[in-house]
A and B are shown apart, each in its own frame.
Chain A
Amino acid sequence: MSHEASLHREVVTTHEVHHDEHHGHHHQETFITKYVFSQDHKMIAKQFLITGIIWAIIGGLFSVLFRLQLGYPDQSFPILEDILGSKWAAGGKIQPEFYYALVTMHGTVLVFFVLTAGLSGTFANLLIPLQVGARDMASPLMNMLSYWFFFIASIVMIASLFVQTGPASGGWTAYPPLSALGDASEGSKTGMDLWLVAMALFVVSQLLAGLNYISTILNLRTKGMAMTRLPLTIWALFFTAVLGVLSFPVLFSGFILLLFDRHAGTSFYLSDIFLASTQKALPNEGGSAILYQHLFWFLGHPEVYIILLPAMGMVSEILTTNARKPIFGYMAMVGSMFAIAILAFLVWAHHMFVTGMNPFLGSVFVLLTLLIAVPSAIKVFNWLTTLWRGNLRFTPGMLFAIGFVSFFISGGLTGIFVGNSTIDIHLHDTMFVIAHFHIVMGVASFFGMFAGVYHWFPKMYGRYMNNTLAYIHFWITLIGAYLIFWPMHYEGLAGMPRRYLDVSGWVSFNQFSGLNRFISIVSIIVFAVQLLFVFNFFYSIFKGRRVRTQNPWGSNTLEWTTPINPGHGNWEGEIPEVHRWAYDYGKDGRDFIPQTEPVGKNESSH
């Protein structure tokens, strides 16, 4: 008690208030402080989640639009002209600039706004204090600011959709010189500035969030919660935060230099440029376009793990809980995440094998890149062993966790193709890369996120989501995602480049128009099914079946020791003390032993 009081003076006051009143309601909370400018980590988690869901719908809708173009390049859809106007969809056909704007926004939104902010933002906020046993984040104010910076970033990004020259359209990687020169592309005019501003705000939000996560995990663990007793979710979120804090500033610097090149006449990235559109040579000499790529991928690669690690952590947690069996190889799981976090900083140039980089340097990056597959393999085998001889309950969360493992295997293995520079010469910037990262990052992380939402929804809202809808959602998404991305590898093997909106003019690639149509149809179906999930989510918030027991899944972790609808401060009495790790499932003939239970005298040790 004294330990926590010293760390958390204000919140302790609120908890004393709880003592006197009987329910977890905060003193004089208004609508604004409770739902809008809330400093309660649980509310902030919900804000991140719902904003993320809105962004996911927008980003997904973009992909439906451009898949329409890819699947039906010579058809026109008059309704598009009605909605989008004649500049972007003249005659019902998506114009190239608009296609590229859609692709760019799709990538940016899903990678950063959904799978970074929406995923880590939600679950780091929800789970860190609840699972380490803290009343809130180290700095609830910074936490609130982190959401609001994200919110402003979102507003700016949305605004960029409405400027006359259109939003950024140089791809989510925004390589200069294309992204630096308004005369090279419409999207590199105002849209690009707004994109950069939005991303800069986003980085601020991530840093505020990350520092908070790290300090909470390091400093606010409850009594007995040694680092080695932390649930794997927390370890994963910890490494995620460290990756973000160390790499986002590098991206930020890359963006600042880009802004200078755009507006201050500097030549960081620009050299020897003559633009056909203006018939003018630019004065800039001596810059290096490749420098940007280094800065970008120094974040870019860690970023893919920033997206994946939280999903890995949640999947570990959900798999064990529903297998009623400890996670296999806890220390190996932590160790492999540590290895991944270190290696994630040492492989960025595998995105640049064919930029003219020194081939020897390329070799070093091949070695380091393929090394990452070792910890990845360990994780997969450990998950498999966790399932082995378990007693599996297929809750929707569990199914999505199993789906995650399947996609992680499939996509991780194709990483071994592209990670080998020899093969990457052929596969770089083809649809193979699209298939690789959509499976391993896009789909897998989405599965992790769905698993998390289904699993922790009862904790968030005190209600369950509808099971039947969840099962339909799972099965169609699992099958659909494979149908979309599996055949895409073949397009890539044939060398079909990514970011081509129409391949009919190419002898080498036009054999795939039928396949493209098939993929487009499936993606529209899968998108529709995601709307089913969204519906289920919002419907269940208000109308879902109520949770009646404190610990519906029979979990060991601390979040299930809080009241069904915890107030600000989480626990009504004292924060419980922890006596063991989180994975005593099926030990000594007992179904589960919560972390709060002291180790018995005759208990076997593991």
Chain B
Amino acid sequence: MSTQLIMAILALGFIVVFQIAKASEYVAVLKGEKKSFEQNNKINGFLLLAFLVLGLIGVYWCNELLKGKILGEAASDHGEKVDAMLHITLILTGIVFFITQILLFWFSFKYQYSEKRKAYYFPHNNTLELIWTVVPAITLFILVGFGLVYWSRITGDAPANANIVEITGKQFGWIYRYPGKDKVFGKKYYKNINEGKNNQLGLLWDDKAAQDDIVSNEALYMVVNKPIKLVINSRDVVHDVGLVHFRMKMDAVPGTPTTMWFTPKFTTEEMKKKTGREDFEYEISCDQMCGKGHYSMKGIVKVVTAAEYALWLAKQKPNYQQVMADQAPAATPAAAVDTVKATAAAATHSATNN
């Protein structure tokens, strides 16, 4: 109903605007082409100036309105570098923005047509052109310089004492793997993946190193002020580990592991206080289009103190032990009912497909 109403109003608006436009065209013809041109020119010249002034006010006002909604302080050491670079760039480009936009609209207003003025024949000037080649070039080299220094630090090797956690994306969720007591990740092979048998990463149980690996879908735990290195994988399509508060991001590519490292500065609890939000969580957002569940592919990072981490770790059961426990009581694997269903459905599905 309301849609029809809106349509009707729109149509009416169209007709009114069109009639006005047609009428003004006739008026212009009556008034004479020159006169109506001059009038239009004045109005548009004035509007260009008004746009400049209101636009600048709008830029300021928009900033006032929204600056509180973008992120607060970066929650990692690398994030600080990103923010620093962002600020340098913002200042330099901000200056250029204001100068050029003001010149553009000011010139437009100032040099609008007047019968008295003669346009100035000014086809080129080498000095000027040299200036505005060299100055931007220097500015950009400054930006590149800062950028590359930060970039090389952020992408450099992780410190030796970093905790290493593996994170694997799948449609549509995240799987975390901790190396266990031996600090070594066991071997895995994707053809070994079997969700029915509680092996979502395809770990090879023959490998001793795999037997103490902890696999979880709950959250990615890290210790505050301790470097953490993520080894990033994907099980199906390209995903991306996006960590907005840490200002970090890295794609998860099937077949090609990637890495990132940083040092978290605040625990989740501290962030709750800092942001004043009880529901605060460090969220992992998938930043690469991965299918229909992309927008809801969320993971959680828990930044905790070293003591809390040790406590949490002690409670975790390696994947291998879970599998053994599953297999022991019954002959059939005690897989979750819905997974079995999914498997069955998928099987018929692929059968019809082929």
Q: Give A residues with C-beta under 8 Å from B.
A: 77, 79, 95-97, 100, 169-171, 173, 175-178, 181-186, 270-281, 285-290, 323-332, 354-356, 359, 362-363, 366-367, 370-371, 373-374, 377-378, 380-382, 384-385, 387-394, 399, 402, 405-406, 409-410, 413-414, 416-417, 420-423, 425-426, 428-430, 466-469, 471-472, 475, 478-479, 482, 486-487, 490, 493-495, 497, 499-503, 505-509, 511-512, 515, 528, 531-532, 535-536, 545, 583, 585-589, 606
Contact = CB atoms under 8 A, between A and B. Distances in A.
Contacts of B346: 277-280
Given A384-B100, A423-B86, A175 B238 contact: yes
Contact of B66 (A370, A487, A589): A487
A97 B295 CA distance: 11
Given A276-B195, A332-B129, 20 more contacts: A181-B237, A273-B254, A276-B342, A278-B346, A279-B195, A289-B254, A290-B253, A328-B125, A355-B253, A377-B132, A377-B133, A392-B45, A409-B100, A421-B147, A422-B150, A475-B47, A486-B62, A505-B298, A515-B66, A532-B17
A413 B95 CA distance: 10
A287 B105 CA distance: 52
B291 A329 contact: no
Nearest to B66: A490
A366 B147 contact: yes
Contacts of A182: 353
B17 A325 contact: no
B219 interface: no
Interface string B112-141: 111001111111110011001100110010
Nearest to B285: A497
B143 A487 contact: no
Contacts of A390: 107, 111, 119-120
B287 to A, nearest CB: 4
17 contacts: A96-B295, A278-B347, A278-B349, A279-B343, A325-B120, A330-B124, A354-B250, A390-B107, A391-B119, A392-B45, A399-B44, A409-B96, A490-B69, A497-B286, A509-B285, A532-B18, A535-B18
A135 B29 CA distance: 35
A384 B245 CA distance: 40
B37 interface: yes
Nearest to B193: A274
Nearest to B251: A355
A414 B86 CA distance: 11
A508 B245 contact: yes
A416 B155 contact: no
A466 B22 contact: yes
Contacts of B279: 507
Given A409-B104, A417-B86, A391 B114 contact: yes
B97 A409 contact: yes
A387 B193 CA distance: 66
Contact of B97 (A274, A281, A363, A410): A410
A597 B350 CA distance: 73
Contacts of A175: 237-238, 288-289
Given A177-B236, A330-B123, A606-B123, A422 B45 contact: no
Interface string B278-305: 0111010111111111111010000000
Given A329-B124, A506-B285, A276 B236 contact: yes
B121 A326 contact: yes
B14 interface: yes
A29 to B, nearest CB: 33
B253 A425 contact: no
Nearest to A371: B140
Given A277-B349, A289-B238, A421-B147, A329 B129 contact: yes
